[in-house]
Chains A and B, each alone.
Chain A
Amino acid sequence: MRTKRLAIALATMLAAGCGGAAETPAAAPATSAPAGPVSLTYWTWAPNMDKIAEVWNQANPDIKVTVSKQAGGDDAAAKFLTAAKAGNAPDLVQAEYQHLPSFIAADAVADIAAEAAAVKPEFSAGLWGLVTLGTESVYAIPQDSGPMMLYYRKDLFEKYGIGVPKTWDEYAEAARTVHKADPKVYLGSFSSKDPGWFAGLAQQAGAQWWSISGDAWKVGINDAATTKVADFWGGLVQEGVIDDMPYFTPEWNKALNDGTQLSWPSAVWGPGVLESNAPKGKGKWGIAPLPQWNAGENFSGFWGGSSTAVSAGSKNRAAAVKFATWLNTDPQGIDLLVKEAFVYPASGKGQAALGAPPAYFAESQPDFWQQAATIGTSARGFTFGPNVGVTYNAYKDAFDKALQDKSPFSASVGTMQDTTVADMQKSGFTLAQ
């Protein structure tokens, strides 16, 4: 029942969002596998997915999967939504967790509960919630996940005489110590360009930006937890002991390389980034759980991660689910995902099977995957809303402005809340107070 109501609440977005007489692809009735070989298209940006599909195609000549490698990120979500609206959506699509609700709201992805409910035990409750939004429906199969942890330079922590911070208070103290010792060096940086990062830290603090109560959405971006996180970073930035350059930029890469950035609260997929952007740090980085808000706690959040969804317009839903299930839960599929696509698999079995650490960490953190698995279980659940794109853009605008004007960060959180609520009202969602 709840599912139905959610679907209705979500579907209102389509009417408001697209305007004009865009055709909603008729729900595909085909749940039984059609006779004869079927051919599926799959939009993804994971590297080497074409090679993985090739392995599947060899073994399954009756279901041929053609991979089309797309650009990832927010643009990929917009492109998929446009294609779905025009009836050109691929059968399978890689969907980041934060964009899945907008796909559901636009009726672009199919409810595959009938075919996929059986794989539920493969995944942790937190991840499963991201693809069901807490309903009985299943909108995608989790592919990879991004529990957050603290990456830090072991050698430089020693040099500056700081221990691995267990709480955020200790983190702030360490930031002051380091910056005092060498004004060119920072413990870390606050990025106004990475809303996913901030969302992960807010999750750790216990934030719930969106929730569904009855048939209405509740938006709580400016809750106490998020405000606490924002003010913590705002204070450090104002004090000048934490840098404020965005991640993944050339200057940030440079700082990682020359050792003027000592740590990075990031997700489990960090090694790939460090290896390509900071090759000089090989063998010098270690990982630890994120600093906690209260001593003795043990929480983390998610940054990034994606799932495999079946588009609502697909005429071969059963075959598509079969492939998605194989890819994300079959030992062979997971093994390929890890080795070829370099993802941290969402499946619990897959995570446990990871052995040798990433080459970048071979010397400094040989138990990388074991650490990661322990940290992963502490990640808190979260529900993303139907207009995450709007919220994330508001984050970038509001925090850029806060950095420029040196205004309090909590005000930026307020802007995010207001922008998100206004957009949802405009799109016709029912909001609970």
Chain B
Amino acid sequence: MNRRPVGALPTGLLVLGAIYCLLPVSWVLISASKSPGELFTLGTLTPGSGLLENVRELNAYRDGVFWRWMLNSVVYAGGGALLSTLVSAVSGFALAKYRFPGRNLIFNVLIGGILVPSVVLAVPQYLLFSKIGMADTYWAVLLPQILHPYSIYLARVYASAAVPDSLLEAGRIDGASERRLLGRVALPLMVPGMVTIFLFQFVAIWNNFLLPFLMLGDDGKFPLTVGLYSLLAAGANQPSLYNLIITGALLSIIPLIALFLTMQRYWRTDLSGGALKG
């Protein structure tokens, strides 16, 4: 009897949270369906009739440069997240399972690194990359994202919980080399954690704006964020291409949604696994 009001409050809060998260997405969806003429005349939540026309126009914009940006984003986010996950997993495992001089120092420096927002580093990174002549290349956006302190921290926490010392010990007794232990024993156990890191990094790089904005001068190498921004800020005397930007924003979240749906399985495993073993 008295469970009902207790249940209503959390449910209510969750519903509010869901509305809070879904409203902007539905706004994007509805606005993307409006033709330029409808965008500022129809009511905010009234769907328009121009979605296909908008997509067609976006497709035609500068000979389909949007898809090139999309591809670039996939390269930056996919490649960066994959490399970052591997580096984080290996270094997290090493920090969790090996005792060596300087281990705590490295770990403390990493913790300190988490506290430095990457935004602060963008300009120094740009100047450094300019010095070695690598600004305005794909590497200029990929490399700075590979080493990510928070991911290494996560990997360390996950490795110490998910990889039992006794298992490694047993492997050593059976004569497995350290490399083999890492590849055959530790990494498979860490897959759920690695998926988490991959998703985190993928989303972070996909949405990153400042680093590519600074690093890249050539518009053929822009990711979606910077590319769409160039449609928005077209100088005072050029109209912003609102309908293309909104449609582009809608299309740019589709890969993220697809990624989350396909990886959801692992994500869930990870949360429950962490809850039990942590």
Contacts and interface: CB of A to CB of B under 8 A. Distances in A.
Interface of A: 22, 41, 43, 45-47, 50, 68-73, 75-76, 79, 82-83, 85-88, 90, 94, 96, 144, 146, 194, 196, 248, 250, 253-254, 256-258, 267, 269, 272-273, 275-280, 303-306, 342-344
B239 A275 contact: yes
A149 to B, nearest CB: 14
A119 B123 CA distance: 38
Nearest to B220: A68
Interface in B204-233: 213-214, 217-220, 226, 229-230, 232-233
Contacts of A82: 123, 126, 214
A275 B240 CA distance: 11
B40, B214, B236: which has the most chain A beta carbons within 10 Å? B236
Which of under 10, 10 to 19, 20 to 34, or 35 or more describes the interface residues of B?
A: 20 to 34
B217 A68 contact: yes
9 contacts: A43-B217, A50-B62, A83-B217, A86-B127, A88-B130, A267-B237, A276-B36, A276-B242, A279-B36
Contact of A69 (B39, B130, B230): B230
B41 A304 contact: no
Nearest to B239: A276
Given A71-B229, A79-B213, A86 B236 contact: no
Interface in B74-128: 123, 126-127
Contact of B217 (A45, A72, A90, A96): A90
The 10 closest A-B pairs by CB, nearest first: A72-B235, A269-B237, A86-B130, A276-B239, A253-B40, A71-B233, A304-B236, A279-B37, A71-B230, A73-B233
A45 B130 CA distance: 23
A76 B234 CA distance: 10
Given A50-B62, A71-B229, A278 B40 contact: yes
Contacts of B234: 45, 47, 71-73
A341 to B, nearest CB: 9
Tell me what chain A mostly uses at the interface: helix, strand, loop, or mixed.
mixed
Contacts of B235: 45-46, 72-73, 76, 94, 96, 304, 306
Given A248-B240, A304-B236, A88 B217 contact: yes
Contacts of B238: 45-47, 72, 269, 272, 342
A277 B37 CA distance: 8
Nearest to A269: B237
A100 to B, nearest CB: 14
A272 B36 CA distance: 13
B135 interface: yes
A45 B234 CA distance: 6
Given A45-B233, A46-B235, A69-B219, 5 more contacts: A70-B230, A71-B233, A83-B217, A86-B127, A96-B235
A68 B40 contact: no
Interface string B22-59: 00000000000000110111000000000000000000
Contacts of A196: 236
